[in-house]
Amino acid sequence: MTGCILAIETSCDDTCAAVVTVDGELLSNRIASQGLLHARYGGVVPEVASRRHLEVIDAVTADALEAAGITLADVDTVAVTRGPGLIGALLVGVSSAKALAAARGLPLVPVDHLHGHVVSATLGPDPIEPPYLCLVASGGHTFIGRVEDPAHYTVLGETLDDAAGEAFDKGARLLGLGYPGGPALDRLARTGDAQAFRFPRSAPAELDFSFSGLKTALLYRVRDLGEAEAERRRADLAASFQRAIVDALIARVRQAIVCERLERLAIGGGVAANSELRQAMGDLCDELGVRLWVPPPELCTDNAAMIGAAARFTPALPYPEYLDLDATARLA
Ligand code: KG4
Ligand code: ZN
């Protein structure tokens, strides 16, 4: 098989490896979640994450190759998340990718993690094609991008404070749902009444977002209700809180579709795995006559397949030019 890209992603707390082809075929996508390891701390502990990446990266990579039905000898290019993310966690992936590539003199592609989220819908049998709009909503970022060429994206609007996933995680923590909070809040919200409580939908200028006031509003509401009543109304609180986040995201995407006049939309990032958001985006796109690409949940949350996808559109560094490549916690 030719054109195989082995991709590695370790920007946060998931150790990920995948094999994709230059044509966008997804051959394997492996994710070793560290969720349980960090749950007892109520959030990701960077040093713990780096150490666990180091322990499992080789096994996860071997597993991804095996699942793709290939060996290292069949790999043509290695791709890796260079940033943004936790610096120690990123370094494990970057070092591992460099070693794998250098041992065979292969080219290496350093990938922007967010570019991965932007192009994850270009994978598979029905890839999205530019020009398109994309909403990326994750634990660290929330923005609407415009893609004219899959090698680049332009940010049209972004969060001014918390990311949507951060709002989910903080809300979940206030409701005693543990970590990671987004999926737990999503599940609980299904059994609650989204009209029960009114939470603010803040709308800063143009296409930007703001979620920090929402978290404060939930904090005050839980305090006002008192412990026992807040516990009893937990599902209603979760549903109303989630509805506020989804409404804010939908309102901005609606505005972006109207302003930019594009007929294709993709969503990505962990929050794109949210069941209510997926449904609401579908309804919005039906209403506006826009075609929507919703990747499967495992391609929305952090994964290496999307890094392989972005690598198809990113210049590769030939051996040995990448030997001094560094990870970067923040990308320019
Ligand atoms: O993209 P991602 O896996 O990692 C980052 O790049 O941040 O996103 C993780 C975020 C977390 O905040 C998590 O709570 C949220 O995505 N998330 C969800 C759901 N699944 C993951 N939020 C709401 N509903 C979900 N089903
Ligand atoms: Zn991410």
Could you tell me which residues come within 8 angstroms of residue 84 by beta carbon, excluding any fewer than 6 positions away? Answer: 11, 112, 113, 114, 140, 328, 329, 330, 331
Provide the pLDDT for residue 1: 61
3-state secondary structure of 81: strand
Q: Give the torsion through C-alpha atoms of 282, 287, 292, 296, to 10 deg.
A: 0
Mutate to test the pocket of ligand 1, among 118, 119, 120, 138 (most ligand atoms within 8 A of CB): 138
> Do you know the residue count of the chain?
332
CA–centroid distance, residue 94 to ligand 1 (Å): 23
Of all ligands present, the nearest one to the C-alpha of 241 is 1
Which pTM was predicted?
Answer: 0.96
In this structure, are residues 245 and 215 in contact, taking their beta carbons and an 8 Å threshold? no
The helix-helix angle for 212-225 and 234-260 (nearest 10°) equals 160
Question: Looking at the chain, which residues constitute the CATH 3.30.420.40 domain(s)?
Answer: 4-121+300-324, 130-294
DSSP 175-191: TT--SSHHHHHHHHHTT
Token reading at 307 = 């890094």
Residue nearest to atom 24 of ligand 1 (CA): 274
CATH classification number, 130-294, choose in 3.40.366.10, 3.30.420.40, 3.90.180.10, 3.30.930.10? 3.30.420.40
In the chain, which stretches have pLDDT less than 50?
A: none
Residue nearest to atom 21 of ligand 1 (CA): 270
CA–centroid distance, residue 119 to ligand 2 (Å): 12
Q: Which residues pair with 110 in a beta bridge?
A: 80
CA–centroid distance, residue 230 to ligand 1 (Å): 24
Superfamily, domain 4-121+300-324: ATPase, nucleotide binding domain (3.30.420.40)
Pocket of ligand 1 (CB under 6 A): 12, 138-140, 165, 168-169, 180-183, 186, 269-271, 273-274, 301-302
In this structure, are residues 113 and 119 in contact, taking their beta carbons and an 8 Å threshold? no
Provide the pLDDT for residue 40: 86
Residues 32-87: tens digit of each pLDDT? 999 889 988 888 999 999 999 999 999 999 999 999 999 999 999 999 999 999 99
Residues 201-234: tens digit of each pLDDT? 888 889 999 999 999 999 999 999 999 999 999 9
Mean pLDDT of the chain: 96
